[in-house]
Amino acid sequence: MLLDFEQPIAALEGKLREMKKLAEDSQVDVSEAVKALEEKIKQLKKETYANLTRWQRVQLSRHADRPYTLDYIEGFTTKFIELHGDRNVRDDKSMVGGFGEIDGRTIMFIGQQKGRNTKQRQLRNFGMPNPEGYRKALRLMKMAEKFNKPIVTFIDTPGAFPGMEAEERGQGEAIARNLKEMFMLKVPVICIVIGEGASGGALGIAIGDRVFMLENTWYSVISPENCSTILWRSWDYKEQAADAMKVTAKDMLEFKLIDGIIKEPLGGAHTEPEKMINTLRKHILKTLDELEQIPAQERISQRIDNFSSMGVVQEL
């Protein structure tokens, strides 16, 4: 799937393939021309991805080939046992979680999961959890706390499911309870936005000691399209909405709403998923080493102080 701003790069890559094929078929030496074109493509990529607009980063965050939660978990764990159900209603397939092992260290992984085709998207409810998904996540967090295991959450959702049945089962209460309980968890908690971070649906598993975002992701109270619809009664102003809301990882870091940005491979996480998975794995282990040096009660106090200091209060 090519995005609009990727078209010029794709055109050059097509010419490069043709040139290489011509060299093979005719035995003509075009190594210099190939080298020059490869350098031109590399330079164009650098310029393109260094100057992406906020809306273009939103588009990249939704790329169909980006690694999802289970791709990361299966990519850097040697053993992973998925756990199911909230012990109340049912198993929400849009929220996945379980114990995984990295270098002999057991970690509880939790995250929203999207699908890659129509059938998977329906199964995963397009990455939009119901209340039972958030209650399942909280159950797994409490289990991790019981066995003194760190927690890593992956955020990638267009929002909590807004259906009437979800509201009837207490969507707001489920998210609110997660926020309250996550503040008081005695084990280290790392939260990483790997794609879309929309509204309370994202925040419901995003209270942690460290909150990170991948380079081409977004985090906001509402999506640019829905913001455009509310303000202008049309989706046509989504680019302006993205700029006005300042939704990118760079914006969030400037606002001190996150603790860091994890760099993606040139072109986005989907271009070199294995490299991205390895980068994230190293980042998680390094951060856990830092957090485990801090006493539990001090970690909780820092977590509360960090989130309490967010935002601006203007006294009249």
- Residues 192-217 pLDDT 10s: 999 999 989 999 999 999 999 999 99
For the domain that residue 292 is a member of, what is the CATH number? 3.90.226.10
Percent of the chain topping pLDDT 70: 100
Does 187 lie in the same domain as 101?
yes
Task: State the residue range of the domain holding 126.
Answer: 57-308
One domain for residues 130 and 249: yes
- Is 314 domain-assigned? no
Tally of structural domains, the chain: 2
**Span 56-68, average pLDDT:** 95
Identify whether residues 95 and 184 lie together within a single domain: yes
Angle between helices 31-50 and 7-26 (to 10 degrees): 170
Asked if 11 and 132 sit in the same domain, the reply is: no
Nearest CA among 9, 17, 11, 46 for reference residue 34: 17
Residue 208: exposure state from Cβ atoms within 10 A (0-12, 13-18, ≥19): buried
Distance separating alpha carbons of residues 113 and 120, to the nearest angstrom: 10
Residues 44, 72, single domain; the answer is: no
**190 shares its domain with 268:** yes
Note whether 242 and 271 are same-domain residues: yes
- For residues 62 and 16, state if they share a domain: no
Last residue of a domain, one of 51, 72, 87: 51
More confident site: 257 or 17: 257
143 Cβ partners below 8 Å, 6+ apart?
83, 108
Is the pLDDT at 16 greater than 80? The verdict is: yes
- Domain-embedded: residue 315: no
Output the CA angle 79-264-259, nearest 5 degrees.
85
Whether residues 21 and 133 share a domain: the answer is no
Q: Do 131 and 173 contact (CB within 8 A), yes or no?
A: yes
Is pLDDT above 80 for 286? yes
Is 316 within the bounds of a domain?
no
Whole-number pLDDT of residue 26: 78
6 pLDDT exceeds 80? yes
Domain shared by 257 and 241, yes or no: yes
For position 36, what pLDDT does the model report?
87
pTM above 0.85, yes or no: yes
* Same domain membership, residue 143 and residue 248: yes
Q: Is residue 248 part of a domain?
A: yes
